[in-house]
Amino acid sequence: MKNGRNEQEEKDAQTVLTLTNIKYLVEGLDILLQTNVDGEKRMMVIDLRDRLTAYINTMFSD
């Protein structure tokens, strides 16, 4: 089982996020923020959304 987990972790690490996938993630996080998320979870969602947005912006500024 340990070996299977390592293989899954490697597969996940090799997964490429496309621009479209990142866009959908950001949109989903924005929608999540419109729900009843508060406290630490809300801060985590905002942080993730901001990091994804910054990642997209750096792709176009390089």
- Per-residue pLDDT of 1-58, as tens digits, reads 456 667 766 666 666 678 888 889 899 999 999 998 889 999 999 999 999 888 888 8
The whole-angstrom separation of Cα 34 and Cα 45 is 11
Residue 21 lies in a domain: yes
Residue 9 lies in a domain: no
Residue 6 lies in a domain: no
Q: Which residue range(s) make up the domain with 26?
A: 16-61
Residue 45 lies in a domain: yes
Residue located via tokens 């942080």: 47
Residue 43 lies in a domain: yes
The whole-angstrom separation of Cα 25 and Cα 3 is 30
Count structural domains, the chain: 1
Residue 25 lies in a domain: yes
